[in-house]
Amino acid sequence: MLLFLLFNSFLVFGLNYDYEFTCRLASICHAIVSLIGSILFITNVISYDIFHYLINYNVVYISTDIYLYLTNKISNKDIKEMMIHHSCFLIGSYVSYLDPYCYALGIMSEGSTIFLNTRWFAINKYYFTNIGLHTKLFWVCFLIFRIINITYLTYILYHHTYYYYTLLVLPFLVLNYTWFYYLTMKVLKIKK
């Protein structure tokens, strides 16, 4: 757990850039690790003993993000939505041992943030320039990981022994559908 804290702290606080920039880098690392780790766990390539390290990393990442939002070190125009999002995942982390498969499906949703962040880099002219491309890639990944995948997770939880955890996923599902609507409106405005 200490290594995860050190790694995340280095990315966020240790680089010589502003917090927003370094948080985007940390977010991309988190998204890639979460996506790959979840796929490896779901396909039985890694065991729960290994996957548990990913859960710990998520707790550290989410806690750091909440701290940065609450201390205004990063843009917090969407703080209410992000607190709901992060709170759902933080609670999910603590009950993940009950059904790590469901947690793995949930954390796979972070795969969409890869292109959310590359889009931010393109808008701010770091590394990328084609904002339209990154917006479209973000839309596709959001559809796959946040709409289809989380709807599937909600269905599984509803028919599960722990059906009451559907209440944990529902706010996240509503947020995802709302965000997807706004994202779709942005994509439709992009010239082809």
> pLDDT per residue over 85-129, tens digit each?
888 888 888 888 889 999 999 999 999 999 999 998 998 888 888
Q: What is the pLDDT of residue 14?
A: 53
pTM for this prediction: 0.84
Q: Determine the pLDDT at residue 171.
A: 86
pLDDT by residue (tens digit) across 61-91?
A: 888 888 888 887 776 677 777 788 888 888 8
Q: Is the pLDDT of residue 184 over 90?
A: yes
Is it the case that residue 192 has pLDDT exceeding 70? no
pLDDT value for 189: 84
- pLDDT score of 42 more than 80: yes
Other CB atoms within 10 A of residue 172 CB: 21
Q: Report the pLDDT averaged over residues 166-187.
A: 90
C-alpha dihedral, 75 to 82 to 118 to 124, nearest 10°: -20
Continuous H helices in 10-78:
19-42, 48-70
The two tokens of residue 118 are 């590359």
pLDDT digits (tens, 9 = 90+) for 2-29: 554 455 555 555 555 677 777 888 889 8
Give the CA-trace dihedral at 148, 151, 156, 157, to 10 degrees: 150
User: Residue 47 and residue 41: Cα distance in Å, rounded?
Assistant: 6
- The whole-chain average pLDDT of the chain stands at 85
Rounded to an integer, the average pLDDT of 127-153 is 93
Residue 135 three-state SS: helix
